[in-house]
Structure formats: structure tokens, C-alpha cells
Chain A
Amino acid sequence: MSGSVVDNTVSSGNSSAAIPTDISGQILDLDEDDDLEVFSKDTTLTDGSSFNASMQTSPASMINQYKFEEDADTKDIFVTVDNPESHVTAIETYITYRVMTKTTRSEFDSSEFEVRRRYQDFLWLKGRLEEAHPTLIVHPLPEKFVVKGMVERFNEDFIETRRRALHRFLNKIAEHPIFSSSEDFKIFLTAASGELTSHKKQGPGFLSRMGDTVKAVAAAVRGVRNRPQEFTEMQEYVEAFSQKISSLDKVTQRIVREQKEYLEELKECGPTYALWSQSEEELAEPLKNVAGCVDRCCKETEEQVKNLSDQLIPVLHEYVLCADTLKAVLRRRDNIQADFEAKTEALATKKADRDTMRDDLDKAEDRLEWANNALKSDWTRWQKVMRTDLRSAFVDTAERNVSYYEKCLAVWESFLHSQRTDAEGNGKVDFS
């Protein structure tokens, strides 16, 4: 497993709820059961006494809460998504991507795997992970279809952008301490197409899924009464974060638009200087030179725009989707709490079936405890990952901008240099 969990009950003054010390055993169990009610009532999971509403915010405690190593040297699974191919059948046309896995993990039968997957398969995997871990944060998938900008599904740029996003998605799953051990994930990476199809069919039956949905709706309608402060703070943060990251996405897209329009105008400059040079004698050479410089700057600008579109925008966009994921996760947690609250009330008011109801209540309590703890750990992990991702995306963008200006600078300096050597040769201009 690529992550380990450290108990923090000792670390700082105001301690939060104890995090399960070792959840690896539980993880495998969970993945096999889609029905959340099959949680075992294991005391190592819960520690109701030290449940503290305040959220840990100091850096030290955040790190202590949930430490996991993501270093390259301890990484034992590598996943890549590439090689999109189009498939045509009588009914439809679709794209598959090659998913390659290299791993040293013992639970894998071999060390290398190569399979082909389509977008639907990724959707399925995501759904499975969300179902199994309603309060863990699953990295978002690229959207099904981009309506704005009228992108065609089979457009080269669209496919490439999607491929990159799918690659990031799988890597995020692989880097997640809990998801990476998911059986569904393993099957996704290794099973032949036929196997995968039949495994998919084994999922929770229609009725069972219906039941979950009904429960969720009922819980949502009920609403949660005593949401702990830390989750309210989380929600406020998510609201604000969602707004900010959406703004950044929009601003960046606007920059790309303006750059493209600038490029359109700039593209006419070079040819105009070239046209001028045709009427001139002495001036022909410097004018042609300037035309060349402007054209080269155009190329650099074009590349810079492409980089912005290919690198920064997809990352920002993913985090916009992340914000939605976070909201959904918080909602699900609320529902679990609402369910617990309802059952508590039921036990207090109803007289019949008290034993069953008590059982139900205990299970609901466990589930809530589990959900809260899982969310809190994953929240910390997510924040760290978000910080890393966005930091490197912006650093990358800044670097590319520097490189862009450096290249343009070189272009114009070479022009100056050529004029200097000309001028000093002819004794015409004094540059002192």
C-alpha cells in the first residue's frame, strides 16, 4: 500500500477524533461489499469519546493526521494512458485508450499489464469507488462532452486533452492510499475486455442501487440537525474555493482568447513589413529582417497560447470539478448523519422492534463515525495534493512565460546585432 496512517491522539492540544490506525484490512472488505450497512462493529474503527468538533488547521497537525509517502522511490505502481484509437461498430463509433501498468505489488499476478479502455469504463470505475467510499474524495474525470466551443467528440485536440485528463485521473487513484488497493481498480487495470464486462455486471443490482438512492433522497430531505462545526467550515471553504477556482478558470480562458486575437493581428504585421521591403532599396534588408522577427515572435506566441490551453486550463478545470466533488462528498456525509439522527429519534419515540432498531442505530453510528474520520483524513490529503498540483501548474506557467519572453528577446537582439554590424561597417550610425 502506498500510504500509511499515523495516529495523532497525542500530537497536539486540541486533538481531533482518532483516525483508524490501520484501515488496510477494512479496505479490502469494503470493496467487496457495496452495501454500506455491512460495516463490522469494530471498536478500532471508532472512538466516540474524543470526537472533537473543531477542525485541525495547524500545519503540524495536518501532516500528523494523515501522513503518506508519495515519493517516487516508494512508488510501486506506474500507470499510463495513451494511444487513442477509434473503433467503429454497426451501432456506434468510440475511442479506446491504452492503459499500461507497471507494478511490483504482490497482489498483482504480473508486473506489467496492457489493456484498452473506453471512457465508459473510466466512468464505471469512478462510480464504483464513490459507492464504496462515499466520503472519500475521488479525483474528477474529464467531462463527457464539451458543449461550449462546439468541440467534436472525435476532434484531435479534444481526444488529446481527454487522454491527459484520464491519465491524471488514474494516477490520482493509484496515488490514493485507499483507492489504489481497490479490487475494482485492479480489475480495471488488468482485466481483458470480456472479463471487465462480466465484472461490471456483477455490480449491485438495480433494486439495490434504487434502494441506496431512495435512502439518499430521504436523508437529504430530512436534513442534518447538528452538523459539527468542522464540517460547516469545510463547506464554507469549499464554497469559496469553488468560486475562486472557477474565476481562475474563466480568467485563464479569457487570457487565451485575448492572446489568440492578438496573434491574429500580429500575423499581419510581418507580411506588411515584407511588402514594404519590396519598394525599398537601402531599407529592404532591415525591413525584411524585421518581418522575419515579427513572424518568429508570432510562432512563439502561438506556442505560448497552446501551452496555456494544454497545461494550465485543464488543471484549473479539474479543480473546478473537484470543488463539485467535494460538495457532493459533504452532502453524502450530511446524509449519513441525517440517517443516524433519524434512527436516534426513531429509537426514542417508537416502541416496537426496539432490538432491531438499536442494531440499526449502532450500525448507523458506526457508519457516521467511519464516514467522518475518512472524510477528515482524505480532506487533509486532498488539500496537500491540491496545493502541490496548483503550485506546480502555476510555477510551470510562469516558467513558460519567462521562456517565451526570453525567446522573443533573442529574436530582437539578433536584429539589433545585425544592424549594428551593418552600420558600423558603413560608418553610418554611431551607437555610443
Chain B
Amino acid sequence: MRERERDAEQGDARNRTSLLKKMEISVAEAEKRTGKNAVNMQETYTVYLIETRPVDAASEGTNPVPDSLWRRYSEFEQLRNYLLVTYPFLVVPPLPEKRAEFVWHKLSADNMDPDFVERRRVGLENFLLRVASHPDLSTDKIFYSFLTEENGWKETVFETGFQAKADSRLKALNATFRVKNPDKRFAEMKHYGDELQSVISQLLRVRARAADRLYGVYKVHGNYGRVFSEWSAIEKEMGDGLQSAGHHMDAYAASVDDILEEEEHYADQLKEYLFYADALRAVCRKHELTQYELEMAAQDLTSKKQQREELATGTIRTFSLKGMTSKLFGQETPEQREAKLKMLETQIEEGEELVKERNGECEEFVKSAWVDIERFKEQKDHDLREALISYAIMQISMCKKGIQVWNNAKECFSKM
């Protein structure tokens, strides 16, 4: 199912960026490595094989060996941080979770667990495809070299200075400030992002608990298998029927493993949008920040203009320490006043420039961000609907298995 999805993703007309028209991208494998880390201690980590293959080669049927390189999760993180900082007005696709969350008891929370690694591999591939199918992100040079340059990429990305920007960005987004006139649409989107995050978290939690319980129900039926088998040993005519019914009970108990593995895939789809909600909120926050900075500059300009007016007319309308002290200690000399006025004029000029600049930034941001948000909305609606459909298909498959097992058991029971 994954293969088909990947092909569908790459082949979908809407996602045919020029990058994807050129190359096929996949994260084909995962491997364990050991090495020395930054503090010179032994560590084990996983690396993922990124394969790229020119599109025409595949269609020609020659099937040459793809280009490939190995990357670890932390490098993917660096790439994403770079993208966040460079395109703050875009809803940047999320990475698969760093640590396993919303696990039900049988599922391992261990990062080295092979099932987790496999699901992460799929998630990383999905991330790369999302970026590659984004009209703006797919053209980024750093992204391209991430896919194609094994050595030197780290240095290249560091040279962009994104790390420092990433740190200050995080700080700014988490700061508390109040915006007077945010764009209504962005305020609504931020609210939506909050709600989406909250409801998907709740759904994932409930689902994990239900999966746990379902596991219990199926596995207990395995006990039927054991007892039927033991009972059949002491019976004459009933023996065969009981014995074979027992086998079906064992099969029933075993079937839950596949069922829940498939459901994990559905959970991963939900998780992607849980993290997407975060990315969406970040864009709205960024808008608030730019708006706030504009408002601060405008406020500053207004106050400077006011000061100039007061100085010029000699009236003090606004309270200022200078004003009070001058009242107390006497007026300043005309020369002093002249100097001050001149300084204010310069500041006002600079302030007007700043306001103009910031206003432009704000408008620019709002425009590009809203385009991407609309694109994101459409993608989300499409993807989540698909996810719900695949959930229904999973439920149907589970029901069909149940019908089969119990019909078989019924036949055996009637032979008791």
C-alpha cells in the first residue's frame, strides 16, 4: 500500500513540481551504525538511505542504479529548521515524531525497535516527498543538495547561518506580546490550528487505549484454543470438532497483530497532521510577530511626532520625564531646543522609512502566507478524507476476517 501511495503522490498532477518531473525520490532502507558522538562516547544510531533516480530512466525501462546517500534523523531536523527559518510564511511539512508517543502497551516506545524504525523510514520518505511536491520548497538549493550531496552538505547548510536564526525565531515565537490589529483570517487559522492539535491528540490517545483493549480481547481467545485442545483429549465424539475449533480460536487470536499494525499506519497519518497543525500555528504566530513589529514601529513614530509637536509649540500634552525636569529645573535654551528638534526630525524620517518597510513586509507576508495556507487547506482536506476512507477499509477487512474465522469455528462446533 505504501508503494502505491508514493507513486500516487508523485504522479498526482497537482504535485508535479519541476523537481518531481525530473527525479524519483525514496527512502529505501534503514541501517544501524555505531560511532563516536560529539562528547567522544560510543553511540548507536540509525541511518536512512535516500535514493534518487532520474524519471526518464525508469520509464525507459533501463533501470540504472539509483544515486544514494545515507542520512540520519538529526540531519533531517537540520534541513527542516533551515526551511522553517528561510520560508517563515510557508506551512513547512513536519518530520515523523522524534519519540514514539500515543503508544499502546504492546507497541514499543524504543527508538531502536525495528517496527518504529520502519515507520520512521516511511515518515521520512513522506517528508521528502511533501517538500519535493511543494511549489516553493521544491526549488530550494539546500534541499536539492540534501538529496544529492553526501559530503559537504552539513557545511553548506551551516554557512547559511540558519542555526542562529532558528534560535532567535523560536524565542520570538514563544514570547508573549499583544497585537492590536491582527489579520482576522490568521487569527481564525491560529485558532483552528489549536483546535486541530487538541482534537487529534485526543483521538490518538483514545485510539491507542482502544487498540490496547482490542488486543486483549483477541488474545484471550487464544485460551479457548488451549482449553479446547485439552478438553478434546478426554472426549470421544466431541474430540475432533473441539480440536479443530481450537485451531480457529488460535488463528483469531493471532490475527490481531496484523490488524493493529495496519491501524498504526492510520495513526501515523493523523500524527502528520497533528504536527502540521503546529507548523500552521507557527505561520500564524509569525504573522502576529510581523504585525506586532509594524505596530511597534508605528507607535514609536506616532510618539516621536507628538514629541516634535510639543517641542515646537511648547505645550506639554504627554508626560515626559524631560518635560517634568525642565519644568522643575527651568526651561532649556533655544539652542538646546533646536538640537532636539533636529534629532527628532531625523528619527521621524527614519521611523517613517521603517514603518513603510515593515508595512511592506507585513503585506508581503500576508499575501504569500495566505496562498500557502489555502494550498495547505486543500491538501489537508484531501489527505484526511483519504485517511478516513482507508480507516473504513481497514475496519471492513477486520470484519471480513472475523466473519471467516467464526464461520469456520461454527462448522467445527457443529461437528462436536
Contact = CB atoms under 8 A, between A and B. Distances in A.
Nearest to B221: A255
Contacts of B409: 394, 398, 401
Nearest to B384: A283
A61 B189 CA distance: 82
Nearest to B195: A279
A287 interface: yes
A383 to B, nearest CB: 9
Interface string A389-432: 01100110011011011101100110110010000000011000
A12 B210 CA distance: 59
A406 B195 CA distance: 35
Given A268-B206, A279-B195, A415 B399 contact: no
B400 interface: yes
Contacts of A390: 238, 416
Interface string B205-231: 011011011101100110110010011
B410 A387 contact: no
Interface residues of B, number: 53
Interface string A238-251: 00110011011001
Nearest to B204: A272
Contacts of B216: 258, 261-262
Nearest to B225: A251
A59 interface: yes
B402 A266 contact: no
Interface residues of A, number: 56
Interface SS of chain B: helix
B324 interface: no
Contact of A275 (B199, B217, B385): B199
Interface in A263-292: 264-266, 268-269, 272-273, 275-276, 279-283, 286-287, 290
Contacts of A405: 399-400, 402-403, 406
B227 A265 contact: no
A69 B350 CA distance: 110
A269 B392 contact: no
B196 A409 contact: no
Contact of B209 (A259, A265, A290): A265
A282 B386 CA distance: 13
Interface in B380-416: 380-382, 384-386, 388-389, 391-393, 395-396, 399-400, 402-403, 406-407, 409-410, 413-414, 416
B416 A244 contact: no
A401 B402 contact: yes
A265 B199 contact: no
Contacts of B402: 401-402, 404-405
A412 B395 contact: yes
Contact of B396 (A254, A268, A273, A409): A409
Contacts of A287: 388
B209 A387 contact: no
B234 A244 contact: yes
A137 B352 CA distance: 105
A43 interface: no
A266 B241 CA distance: 34
A237 interface: yes
A320 interface: no
A89 interface: no
Contact of B230 (A244, A266, A293): A244
Given A240-B234, A241-B234, A429-B386, A395 B410 contact: yes
A273 B224 CA distance: 35
Given A254-B223, A272-B199, A394-B245, A416 B392 contact: yes
A399 B210 CA distance: 25
A57 interface: yes
A249 B390 CA distance: 38
B270 to A, nearest CB: 10
A232 B84 CA distance: 82
B236 interface: yes
B5 interface: no
Given A394-B245, A409-B396, 8 more contacts: A251-B220, A265-B206, A265-B213, A269-B207, A387-B237, A390-B416, A401-B409, A406-B403
Smallest CB-CB A-B distances: 4 pairs:
A398-B410, A262-B213, A405-B402, A409-B399
19 contacts: A59-B237, A244-B234, A251-B227, A255-B217, A258-B220, A259-B217, A262-B217, A272-B206, A280-B381, A283-B384, A290-B392, A394-B413, A398-B413, A401-B402, A401-B406, A402-B403, A404-B402, A405-B399, A412-B396
